[in-house]
């Protein structure tokens, strides 16, 4: 059977598209991503190497801002009506995230309106939308109090317009903890599924979540992994045991693969032939920093942020530092790798270890710089940020299979 078609909005480095590619149920039309750094990673892995996209001739194959696409290609987008099965992806989450400043006036929050405009132009059969938990919570402390953006999206998508030939959607959203679906990370996200009202009145978006629960054990069994995976099971084969020069960073060290010790590691390494993991560059910590990390691992409570008293003792100004517990899933990783200390080595995670926690296959290579800082953080999307912002591919694969079944 022909694969179903989709467009990846706010695609980032390609976590969602990688999952849909791995599901073997979907073929991408194009992706919209503003950051050239993130787009280059997606392009390298899924466009150039795996030919997952049937990119239209009218759209330049490069990074794009969604508002530019809507303004300059609205006719072409309308011409896709009836040809696109799904629009997937959600706007950037930083303005909603409770891990950040949570600013209702963050300009990125307005991308929700752009998302709705895009859906109304293309009118896919189904919608798959992901965002942070804070997307469902009120902005009580800000200027326009009480707005819940998840309610706005549900209301806007459900409306139809006979005059404009626009169909509405039956929509349903729910919070999902990805650690319950094989991801070695406690990461709760708001998932919304919409089904166009004219397709089939018997199709209910709620059924997606029912099937997600009922089929998760079968999916994990087919992938050969447990339904729950801890931090050690995810990255113990990436310990710093056999140092080697980092292939893509002069003056830095990496390490050869160690012996794999879990089914999850075997799955992640499938299809990867390199002896040195991609993007496995160790940070250059000072001797003082390493000494502090040793103390944190020895005396800090594993899996918990360092207490105020502990930070005062070691003169730590940083807001959050968490020495991790290898026997539990990692907490939600952010775009700041120095928030976490490796569970048994006095260092922060490498990019590849970050990717493992998000379930990116080891053959998936990340492009551009590793880190950034200062004012550049608002403009640049280095490797750590690309991964921290992504949808875990293993969850996207499960979602893709179920969404395909619903359409069928």
Q: CATH code at 168?
A: 3.40.50.150
Give, in order, the Cα–Cα distances in Å from 230 to each of 220, 226, 237, 344.
15, 10, 13, 14
Q: Which two tokens stand for residue 345?
A: 């080595």
Nearest to 396 by CA among 364, 359, 363: 359
What would you measure as the largest C-alpha separation in the chain, in angstroms? 68
249 & 118 share domain? no
46 & 185 share domain? yes
Low-confidence ranges of the chain (pLDDT < 50): 95-102, 139, 142-146
Q: Crossing angle for the helix pair 111-122 and 149-158, nearest 10 degrees?
A: 20
200 & 247 share domain? no
13 & 113 share domain? yes
CA distance 122 to 3: 19
Q: Strands, E, within 34-166: which ranges?
A: 86-88, 126-132
Q: Is the pTM of this model over 0.95?
A: no
How much is the pLDDT for 377?
Answer: 75
The yes-or-no answer on residue 246 being catalytic is no
296 & 398 share domain? no
81 & 202 share domain? yes
30 & 80 share domain? yes
Do the domain assignments include residue 217?
yes
How much is the pLDDT for 135?
Answer: 64
User: Cβ(98)–Cβ(138) under 8 Å?
Assistant: no
User: Cβ(393)–Cβ(359) under 8 Å?
Assistant: yes
Q: What is the pLDDT of residues 395-405, one digit of tens each?
A: 999 999 999 99
Q: Which two tokens stand for residue 61?
A: 């194959």
How much is the pLDDT for 161?
Answer: 67
Do the domain assignments include residue 384?
no
Residues counted in the chain:
408
266 & 172 share domain? no
User: Cβ(400)–Cβ(23) under 8 Å?
Assistant: yes
Domain of 242, CATH number, reads 3.90.120
195 DSSP β-pair partners:
126, 170
Residue 254: phi, psi to the nearest 5?
Answer: -125, -160
The domain total for the chain is 2
27 & 109 share domain? yes
How much is the pLDDT for 133?
Answer: 80
247 & 354 share domain? yes
- Within 260-392, residue ranges assigned H as helices are 263-269, 287-299, 308-313, 351-357, 383-388
Do the domain assignments include residue 383?
no
236 & 292 share domain? yes
Non-local (6+) Cβ contacts of 386 within 8 A are 12, 13, 37, 38, 41, 366
Residue 375: phi, psi to the nearest 5?
Answer: -65, -20
Sheet holding 188-196, edge to edge: 26-32, 4-9, 86-88, 126-132, 188-196, 169-177
**Domain around 280:** 231-377
Non-local (6+) Cβ contacts of 395 within 8 A are 19, 176, 178, 181, 182, 183, 359
360 & 403 share domain? no
CA distance 191 to 53: 24
How much is the pLDDT for 164?
Answer: 67
Do the domain assignments include residue 315?
yes
Tell me which of 13, 29, 93, 246 is the catalytic residue: 93
Do the domain assignments include residue 385?
no
- Cα 193 to its chain centre, rounded Å, is 17
Centre a 10 Å sphere on the Cβ of residue 116 and count the other Cβ atoms it contains: 16
How much is the pLDDT for 93?
Answer: 53
CA distance 128 to 87: 6
The b-or-e profile of 11-36 (16+ CB within 10 A means b, else e) is bbbbbbbbbbbbbebbbbbbbbbbbe
- Classify residue 67 by burial, with Cβ atoms within 10 Å: 0-12, 13-18, 19+: middle
Non-local (6+) Cβ contacts of 336 within 8 A are 384, 388
Do the domain assignments include residue 386?
no
């Amino acid at each position: 059977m022909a694969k179903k078609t989709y467009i990846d909005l706010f695609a980032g480095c390609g976590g969602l598209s990688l999952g849909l590619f791995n599901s073997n149920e979907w073929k991408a039309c194009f992706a919209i991503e503003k950051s050239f750094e993130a787009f280059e990673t997606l392009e390298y892995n899924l466009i150039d190497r795996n030919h997952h996209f049937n990119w239209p001739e009218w759209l330049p194959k490069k990074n794009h801002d969604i508002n530019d696409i809507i303004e300059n290609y609205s006719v072409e987008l309308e011409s896709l009506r009836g040809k696109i099965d799904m629009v997937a992806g959600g706007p950037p989450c930083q303005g909603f995230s409770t891990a950040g400043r949570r600013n209702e006036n963050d300009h990125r929050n307005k991308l929700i309106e752009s998302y709705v405009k895009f859906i109304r132009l293309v009118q896919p059969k189904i919608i798959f939308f992901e965002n942070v938990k804070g997307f469902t919570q009120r902005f009580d402390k800000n200027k326009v109090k009480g707005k819940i953006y998840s309610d706005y999206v549900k209301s806007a998508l459900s409306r139809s317009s006979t005059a404009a030939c626009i169909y509405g959607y039956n929509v349903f959203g729910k919070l999902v903890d990805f650690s319950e679906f094989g991801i070695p990370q406690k990461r709760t996200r708001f998932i919304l599924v919409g089904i166009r009202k004219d397709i089939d009145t018997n199709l209910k978006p709620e059924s997606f979540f029912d099937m997600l629960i009922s089929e998760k054990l079968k999916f994990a069994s087919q992938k050969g992994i447990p339904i729950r995976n801890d931090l050690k099971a995810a990255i113990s084969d990436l310990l710093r045991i056999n140092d080697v020069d980092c292939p893509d960073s002069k003056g830095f060290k990496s390490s050869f693969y160690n012996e794999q010790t879990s089914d999850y590691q075997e799955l992640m390494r499938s299809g990867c032939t390199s002896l040195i993991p991609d993007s496995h560059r160790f940070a250059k910590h000072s001797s003082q920093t390493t000494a502090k990390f040793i103390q944190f691992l020895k005396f800090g409570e594993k899996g918990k942020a360092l207490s105020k008293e502990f930070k005062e003792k070691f003169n730590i100004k940083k807001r959050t530092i968490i020495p991790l517990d290898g026997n539990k899933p990692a907490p939600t990783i952010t775009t700041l790798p120095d928030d976490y200390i490796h569970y048994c080595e006095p260092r922060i995670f490498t990019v590849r270890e970050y990717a493992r926690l998000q379930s990116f296959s080891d053959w998936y290579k990340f492009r551009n710089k590793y880190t950034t800082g200062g004012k550049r953080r608002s403009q640049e999307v280095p490797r750590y940020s690309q991964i921290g912002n992504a949808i875990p591919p293993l969850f996207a694969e499960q979602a893709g299979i179920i969404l395909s079944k619903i359409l069928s």
